[in-house]
Structure 1
Amino acid sequence: MPGQHMPEQRMIELAAGSARLGLLPGLGGAVAYWTSGGLDILHAVADPNLLAQRGRAVAAYPLVPFSNRVADGCFQFDGVPYRMRPNFAGEPHVIHGNGWEHAWRLELLSDDSATLGLSWNPHLDPRHPNPQWPFAYRAQLRFDLRQDGLSIGMLIENTDQHPQPAGLGFHPYFPRRGALHLGFSAGTVWTNDDRHLPALRVPATGEWSFEQMRPIGAQAIDHCYAEWSGAAFLRWPQDNLALTIAADDPFRHLVLYTPPGRPFIAVEPVTHMNDALNHPGVADGGLRILAPGRKLEGHIRLALTGC
């Protein structure tokens, strides 16, 4: 069934040993679950603010062609102003691109691997004066499941006639089961203003630092770390389980979301800072400019071990 468009609710399950991965291609290329030996590695979350998910709980989803917020859904590129229509309830900002808002094609499928594809063309959306994204692109997601891990490949190709800014990210939710510990190395972190947009870039020290692995406490973090090493470590001591996230270039930013009182956290490898479309002067902001026909791609690997 290569190239088949999937109904929103149709589930695909990959299997490798005792590991299982549920995919929802028709619901934005989302991951429904990832279990190993019957233990949940990801935590499914229903976020009613993500309008296109329509309240369906998902455990992870792709961020294409950008991550996090774009202030008021507006930006300028090559001297041209653009406005996108809102996709996140309760905020004026546009969030997480538009790949998660569309059904993806199933391009390849085996017992332990699946490749999904998406083609977006704003010119095929003439009913709305403000498109979800003003440039045409092709995206691809590949999931490779193993007994002890999961590999995710991501790609975006500019299929427009003009250059376009582009980025990638992956948004997994992890269970806050027991005394979840987290560790990673990053040089700096962006603080937020009262509109949840980047304000100041400060050293990732003190309460911002996870250089030494520590428990996720009551600190409310919803920020983007820059100069990320490309590795992060999670540990669930009560389950004798540890997980390593290893991301290659261009994933050199990490968004961390630790909502107090909620049973999950999000640790999101991304290619660029929040609202990067409106910060072209940040030299290492991470947003890429793709000429027609050019691609941006990267891989994220999640490895499980005992601890």
Structure 2
Amino acid sequence: MIELAAGNARLGLLPDLGGAIAHWTSGATQLLHPVRDLNLLAQKGRRVAGYPLLPFSNRVADGRFHFEGEDYRLSPNFGGETHAIHGNGWEHAWELELLSDASATLVLSWHPPHGAEVVEWPFAYCAQLRFDLREDSLSIGMLIENTDSRPQPVGMGFHPYFPRRSGLRLGFSADTVWTSDERNLPSLRVPATGAWSFEHMRAIDGQAIDNCYAEWPGAAFLRWPNEGLALTVEADEPFRHLVLFTPPDKPYIAVEPVSNMNDGLNHPGIVDRGVRVLAPGAKLEGHIRFVLTAC
């Protein structure tokens, strides 16, 4: 593990475990919640507090998609599901490219095996993660470059786990949200109103949400009022979707800035699905920032 430091802040990184975050703390306060998810097979039961989603976010239905006249099959990588989930960046060791006391840059080069019928991802790419720690903030820069000889469809995002304690409250704006069918795939796009709305900050209670919000302006707000802590999530283009995961029986929630809608590879007719087609040599880049304040 690599640990960055800035004042009382500490950030642990696991380059060998998919470029994941091991922990982020401020003094004795845990700002992210390390989670052991046995369904994420490549994490091998180790606890992680956040990890990158590359070259797509969330699910690809049954690991199949069609692109530019070709049918592709992806390996299932999540226990109990036939879908491929969260790309394959989190399944591989990243190399440490740059390191200072409060900053680290990780890189990953992926080349699909030649001639394989079922693969993790059928196109070659190079990805970069840059972590910049400050005493009151964490910035994550993400970049993916198409190093293949063909165009490829990509998306990206980051999956942080936040502790569900001390009366946690959440607020954000979004115009619409995708409901899910019984297979956790997008079904209907509906207004983000009523029980779906977090326009007015509210407590995270027993409601079970595992859905993708669309037309998200790039800001979300978490408050732990019993501790006097507040955290703002800021994301620039291309992160205009937000996946919210609130399992009612777990001590954490996930608030995930992502570029593409769930199963976006299989919804080419949706104009703002967030999947970007990169020509050979083209890049997609975005930045996410977590800012800690008192409340």
Q: Return the TM-score normalized by structure 2.
A: 0.99
Is 1:234 matched with 2:222?
yes
Is 1:204 matched with 2:216?
no
Matches within 5 A, 1:165-176: 165-176=153-164
- CA shift, 1:140, in A, is 0.2
Matches within 5 A, 1:121-160: 121-123=111-113, 128-160=116-148
2-structure distance, mates of 1:84, 1:129: 9
Matches within 5 A, 1:109-124: 109-123=99-113
Is 1:84 matched with 2:74?
yes
Give SS of 2:90's match.
helix
Match of 1:187 in 2: 175
Q: 1:281 aligns with which of 269, 272, 281?
A: 269
Give SS of 1:183's match.
strand
Give SS of 1:229's match.
coil
Match of 1:262 in 2: 250
1-structure distance, mates of 2:218, 2:76: 31
Give SS of 2:215's match.
strand
Give SS of 2:211's match.
strand
2-structure distance, mates of 1:138, 1:119: 4
1-structure distance, mates of 2:75, 2:113: 15
2-structure distance, mates of 1:123, 1:176: 41
2:101 counterpart letter in structure 1: D
CA offset digits 1:100-125 (Å, max 9, x no partner)? 0000000000000000000000036x
Give SS of 1:55's match.
coil
Is 1:27 matched with 2:3?
no
Match of 2:38 in 1: 48
Match of 1:297 in 2: 285
Is 1:216 matched with 2:217?
no
2-structure distance, mates of 1:194, 1:261: 19
1:55 counterpart letter in structure 2: G
CA offset digits 1:237-271 (Å, max 9, x no partner)? 11100000000000000000000021000000000
Match of 2:64 in 1: 74
1:183 counterpart letter in structure 2: G
Matched length? 295
Match of 2:96 in 1: 106
CA offset digits 1:167-197 (Å, max 9, x no partner)? 1100000000121000000000000001100
- CA shift, 1:38, in A, is 1.6
Is 1:244 matched with 2:232?
yes
> What 5-or-longer segments of structure 1 have no aligned partner?
1-10
Is 1:225 matched with 2:216?
no
2-structure distance, mates of 1:268, 1:208: 16
2:166 counterpart letter in structure 1: G
Give SS of 2:175's match.
strand
1-structure distance, mates of 2:28, 2:10: 8
What's the Cα RMSD here?
0.7
- CA shift, 1:129, in A, is 3.0
Q: 2:166 aligns with which of 174, 178, 181?
A: 178
2-structure distance, mates of 1:180, 1:42: 13
1:275 counterpart letter in structure 2: D
Q: 1:59 aligns with which of 41, 46, 49?
A: 49
2:38 counterpart letter in structure 1: P
Match of 2:151 in 1: 163
1-structure distance, mates of 2:13, 2:172: 28
- CA shift, 1:229, in A, is 1.0
CA offset digits 1:20-77 (Å, max 9, x no partner)? 0000000000000000022000000000000000110100000000000000000000
CA offset digits 1:118-157 (Å, max 9, x no partner)? 0000036x6x531100000000000000000000000000
